Structure 1
Amino acid sequence: MSRIDYEKNNMGTGFRKIDVDEFSENNFKEEEADGSTGPTGKQAEALITALKSAPLACKNQQVKDNARNLMQKVLLSIKSNQIDDCLAQLDRDLIDVLMKYIYRGFEIPSKDSSSHLLLWHEKVYSINGIGSIVRVFTDSKRV
């Protein structure tokens, strides 16, 4: 195969059809970062929904375990830099329920969950203080 035949077969003109200006930094538009849209908004909504539907008065341990597993998935899916945004959307009662789930997660840890739960604990403690911990340990309703 001669050099000309090689170039003709292997050097197409497809690269010329790409609009490189489309990939320019000037054309890049960052998505709006408000709490209602995007991943953080959806995760905060999932967190709020799971906290509001916590089976506090339920006596069926399987239901409580399923709720704990779901909550742990939600907590672990929220990145550490998004925790403050999610907590800002919770009231004191929901934060107390969250603290119950954090302690429940410490009882039954999964892979890499303890460090993330400690981060959640630190953030909740900085908002609600020692009162949240006392309310969790003195409340007879468990998650």
Structure 2
Amino acid sequence: MSKSSTSRGFRKVDVDQYDEDNFEDEVDESQESGPDEQEVSGYLMQGNNKQAFQSVLLNPPIHTKSAAAKEAASQLVLRVLNSMKTSEIQSAIDSCDTDTLDVLMKYIYRCFDLGSDGQCCASLLAWHEKVLAKAGVGSIVRVLTDRKRL
């Protein structure tokens, strides 16, 4: 026989706190404002494209809500990607881990929205091909399903 329970303690649990749609990240937005434009521009002026590539991917503005910061970071990444020669692409991608490749793929998709000329899109397609070869289709799936947008 089952016991009759008069306990109503379970009703004090707030089940709405576990709803995915109500979830909000508690992240300090001041720590992630995007890549340092002066540092990256300095590397580009020196002709050190690989170092500029590595530093531009270090601090993506994923957690910020500022559209201007995201736009500026995307423009800077587009400038770095276009400055690299086709022969340098593979060595730059080989130096990245999986998380960095996912960030790069996010930037590539974001830059597709920004670029209007054919030369820019051709360069981005070359980058996309190389990143896809290294990271696989899983990178595309992670980028498209991630809620944190650039």
Task: State the TM-score, normalizing by the size of structure 1.
Answer: 0.70
Correspondence for 1:129:
136
Deviating above 6 A after TM superposition, structure 1's stretches of 4 or more consecutive aligned residues are none
After TM superposition, give the deviation of residue 92 of structure 1 in Å.
Answer: 0.7
SS in 1 for 2:95: coil
Correspondence for 1:26:
none
Q: How many residues end up aligned between the 2 structures?
A: 104
Correspondence for 1:81:
87
Corresponding position: 1:47 with 2:53: yes
Identity across the alignment (%):
41
Corresponding position: 1:120 with 2:100: no
Question: Over aligned residues, Cα RMSD in angstroms?
Answer: 1.2
Provide the rounded CA distance (Å) in 1 between the counterparts of 2:60 and 2:80: 13
After TM superposition, give the deviation of residue 89 of structure 1 in Å.
Answer: 1.0
Corresponding position: 1:66 with 2:72: yes
- The runs of 5 or more residues in structure 2 that have no matched partner are 1-45
Task: State the TM-score, normalizing by the size of structure 2.
Answer: 0.66
Contact 1:44/1:89 (8 A) holds in 2? no
1:28-79 deviation per Cα after TM superposition (whole angstroms, max 9, x unaligned): xxxxxxxxxx94xx21211111111110101000000000000000000001
Residue 137 of structure 1 aligns with an amino acid whose one-letter code is L
Residue 135 of structure 1 aligns with an amino acid whose one-letter code is R
- The runs of 5 or more residues in structure 1 that have no matched partner are 1-37
- Higher relative contact order structure (alpha carbons within 8 Å, sequence separation ≥ 6): 1
SS in 1 for 2:136: helix
Contact 1:96/1:135 (8 A) holds in 2? yes
Larger Rg: 1
SS in 2 for 1:52: coil
Provide the rounded CA distance (Å) in 1 between the counterparts of 2:147 and 2:116: 25
